[in-house]
Amino acid sequence: MSTQQQETVVEEQKVQQPTEGEQEDQVKPSSVNPYEVGENVDYDKLISEFGCSKIDQSLIDRVEKLTGKKAHPFLTREIFFSHRDLNLILDNYEKGIPFYLYTGRGPSTESMHLGHLMPFIFTKYLQDAFDVPLVIQLTDDEKFFHKGDFTLEEYQKLAIENAKDIIACGFDIEKTFIFRNTDYVGHMYPNICKIQKAVTYNQLKGIFGVTPSDNCGKFAFPAVQAAPAISTSFPHIFGNKNVFCLIPQGIDQDPYFRMTRDVQYKLKVPKTACIHSKFFPSLQGFGTKMGSTVPNSAIFLTDTPKQIKEKINKSVSGGRATKEEQEQFGADLTVDIPYHYLRFFLEDDARLEEIRVKYSTGKMLTGEVKKELIGILQKIIGDHQEKRKAITNDKVLEYMKIRPLKFKTPQNQLEAKQEQ
């Protein structure tokens, strides 16, 4: 595909105006650290500071209607709680105008934990429900510039190992393209150049807090994370068409995509839509750090059933000190980690509500709640390990192969649309 063919042309999709609060912002991803916050975060305040919108019941109803499927519990339980322009994605989808999904992972460690899986579980639901293509970016470059614990070659390997955990979530190979930046970046380079030209040092400083003494990889990287939100970065999938993009992400990634949307406006290509999740809490309580250096802080994807049991039993709960007190006062659910984990992973709404009522009014003890959670997590992690075992390096390469993807839009094939 020549550069000329890749030239961005706005066709049937209209370019949206920037919404208020997107032009200048001072919120850096680092100022919202997913590990140092928790339910302590005032998410309503974040929504208004960031200029996003809350996902309300009417939007959830529309998703159900358009997909003909029950909304994912992450939506109904406000775990994915905020968005930008999801309504426009749905308006277009309703008219038969397709979109694609884009998400990513920074491969900083081999030991991925449950929190890392969350955006992928949700993305898998979106892919199945809307029957749309998906691109997944592995940012080995980002972690090399920002972390520096390993060599570049080690980050490249970690990307492949992480890809196995991602693939184990069940993404359909015919609809999913996974790419590692250090391999694929050349294909996106025309778009990266256009993005880099549209962003100044002062903007980067305002958004990400870069300083003159930072390595220049940190300056160059935001354009690399932005580029996949422009469909012409994937000519093998979209040709030279401008296709709408929806990005499931942790709310800490929003600054990248606010920058992206401003640039897209300047480049006259469709502005990407976003859907944001809250942070996943550490086992040691809201406001504590979750990571591989704190072994009891998280359930890792490699944990044994015994480790899961021990960790959950040690996790911070809002249950009272004695059985009598628990029966009298009930548990404090605002600090109770086992209950919060059930909100993520117990699918049965009726059972979750029963636990909420009984546990908070003292009719259920912490031990019983923990036991139920242990069973659920042992199954999820056990199933994940089984699936991951089957994923070889060759399988990863198949997902990473540059090839067209198959997909349908609700009323017609995108391919057919492209031929018009």
The answer to the question of residue 247 lying near ligand TRP (CB under 6 A) is yes
Rounded to the nearest 10 degrees, the angle between the axes of helix 181-197 and helix 216-226 is 90
Enumerate residues 48-107 that contact ligand TRP by CB under 6 A: 102-106
According to the binding rule CB under 6 A, does residue 264 interact with ligand TRP? no
Nearer to ligand TRP, 105 or 309 (CB): 105
Give 106 or 281: the residue with its C-beta nearer to ligand TRP.
106
- Between 32 and 247, name the residue whose CB sits nearer to ligand TRP: 247
Q: Which is nearer to ligand TRP, 84 or 105 (CB)?
A: 105
Which range touches ligand TRP (CB under 6 A), out of 61-69, 90-98, 245-253, 368-376?
A: 245-253
127 binds ligand TRP (CB under 6 A): no
Part in contact with ligand TRP (CB under 6 A); list of ranges 52-60, 134-142, 349-357, 361-369: 134-142
- Our measurement of the distance from residue 160's CA atom to the centroid of its chain's CA atoms, rounded to an integer in Å, reads 18
Task: Supply the minimum distance, in Å, between the C-beta of residue 102 and ligand TRP.
Answer: 6
Sign of the alpha-carbon torsion through 365, 368, 374, 376: negative
Size of the site for ligand TRP (CB under 6 A): 12
CA distance 32 to 37: 8
Question: Least Å distance between CB 104 and ligand TRP?
Answer: 3
Nearer to ligand TRP, 167 or 364 (CB): 167
**Relative orientation angle of helices 254-267 and 201-208, to the nearest 10 degrees:** 150
Q: What angle do CA 207, 209, 212 make, to 5 degrees?
A: 125
277 binds ligand TRP (CB under 6 A): no
**Residue 19 tokens, joined:** 């919404």
Q: How far is the CB of 247 from ligand TRP (least distance, A)?
A: 5
CB of 363 to ligand TRP, least distance (A): 40
- Looking at residue 84, its amino acid is R
253 contributes a contact to ligand TRP by CB under 6 A: yes
Among positions 6, 67, 176, 249, the unique one binding ligand TRP when judged by CB under 6 A: 249
**Minimum distance from CB of 352 to ligand TRP (Å)?**
27
**Member of 123, 139, 315, 326 binding ligand TRP (CB under 6 A):** 139
Q: By C-beta, is 289 or 371 nearer to ligand TRP?
A: 289
- Nearest CA to 169 out of 133, 120, 129, 127 is that of 120
Q: Which is nearer to ligand TRP, 93 or 102 (CB)?
A: 102
Distances (CA, A) of 253 to 63, 86, 126, 159, 278: 23, 16, 19, 19, 11
**Which one, 92 or 139, has the nearer CB to ligand TRP?**
139
Half-sphere exposure of 395 (CA within 13 A, CB side): 18
Residues that bind ligand TRP (CB under 6 A): 102-106, 137, 139, 142, 225, 247, 249, 253
